Structure formats: structure tokens, C-alpha cells
């Protein structure tokens, strides 16, 4: 276990039947979405049945892994470990090209550079043997 894993232990996912394929996916560097074969829409976070039409005819599909920042905040106060050691840090809602919105940190980016609409791409960090955490960083920083 990495030191980051120890620090984040209380905040790491309790993997369940609905989420297991997603976390297996991030270990293989894939960001898996649920695609509904009845209504054609994607959704995230993953549910067994589609939240748009309630069809159970859903399958896992790999997202392109790119998107744009819909909104963000720079956290300056958080007394909880381990986050208090990481201040200030960026939390964003990212709209993936595949039509879903995810919560994430924006890494490899300073608080004064982040902005709404910024193109970003997924990066993966192995935290434990079972959890690989997806985060996003600016796309084409140049």
C-alpha cells in the first residue's frame, strides 16, 4: 500500500456488485460507462438499469477519456485528513465527450489556470491493489 493509500483509506470506494466492473476497468486504464441499448443513452455513475428509461439492457462501454470542465472549485479549507495536507486543490465537474458528467480532481494544473470549458483528459493513479483512481488533467497544456 502506498502512503497515499493509507492516507485516503477512509475515502476509498467500498466496491459492490454494481461498481465492480468500473473499478476493474480503471485498473486496465479504461473509464467504463453504462450504455443503454434501449434508449441509446449513456449514464454515470453506473446503475444496473438505465436511469433514463429503466431498461435493464445496459452494457459497459469504454469512454473516450476526454471532456471539458463544466464547473470547478478550488478548495482552500478542509480540516479532514488527508485533504488538509493537499490544500489548495481543485475539484471539478467534467462533461465527458460521451455525454455524462463526473466528479474529479483536476491534477497537473494550478488553481489560477483552471477555467470553465477547459479541455481535459483522464489520468489513472494506482492507489491500492483494487483501486485505481481516475482523475483529469489539462489536455494539450501547450
Q: Is 71 in the site for other proteins (CB under 8 A)?
A: yes
Q: Is 48 in the site for other proteins (CB under 8 A)?
A: no
Q: Is 93 in the site for other proteins (CB under 8 A)?
A: yes
The DSSP secondary structure of 114-132, one letter per residue, reads --TT-EEEEEEEE-SSS-E
Tell me the closest approach of the beta carbon of residue 79 to other proteins, in angstroms. 4
Pairing of strands 66-75, 89-96: antiparallel
> What number of chain residues touch other proteins (CB under 8 A)?
41
Q: Are 49 and 38 in contact (CB under 8 A)?
A: no
CA distances from residue 17 to 20, 24, 46 in whole angstroms, order as listed = 6, 12, 10
Annotate each residue in 120-139 with x if it binds other proteins (CB under 8 A) or - if it does not, as one string: -------x-----x-x----
72: enclosing H helix or E strand: strand 66-75
Q: Is 54 in the site for other proteins (CB under 8 A)?
A: no
| Contacting residues toward other proteins, per CB under 8 A | 8, 10-16, 19, 44-45, 70-80, 83-84, 86, 88-89, 91-93, 101-105, 111, 116-117, 127, 133, 135
Amino acid at each position: 500500500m502506498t502512503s497515499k493509500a493509507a492516507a485516503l483509506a477512509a475515502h476509498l470506494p467500498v466496491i459492490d456488485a454494481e461498481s465492480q466492473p468500473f473499478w476493474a476497468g480503471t485498473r486496465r486504464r479504461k473509464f467504463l460507462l453504462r450504455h443503454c441499448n434501449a434508449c441509446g443513452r449513456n449514464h454515470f455513475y453506473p446503475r444496473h438499469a438505465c436511469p433514463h428509461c429503466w431498461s435493464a439492457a445496459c452494457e459497459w462501454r469504454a469512454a473516450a477519456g476526454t471532456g471539458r470542465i463544466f464547473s470547478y472549485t478550488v478548495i482552500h479549507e478542509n480540516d479532514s485528513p488527508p485533504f488538509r495536507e493537499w490544500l489548495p486543490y481543485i475539484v471539478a465537474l467534467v462533461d465527458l465527450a460521451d455525454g455524462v458528467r463526473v466528479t474529479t480532481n483536476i491534477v497537473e494544473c494550478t488553481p489560477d489556470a483552471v477555467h470553465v470549458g477547459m479541455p481535459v483528459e483522464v489520468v489513472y493513479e494506482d492507489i491500492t491493489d483494487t483501486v485505481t483512481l481516475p482523475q483529469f488533467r489539462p489536455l494539450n497544456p501547450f
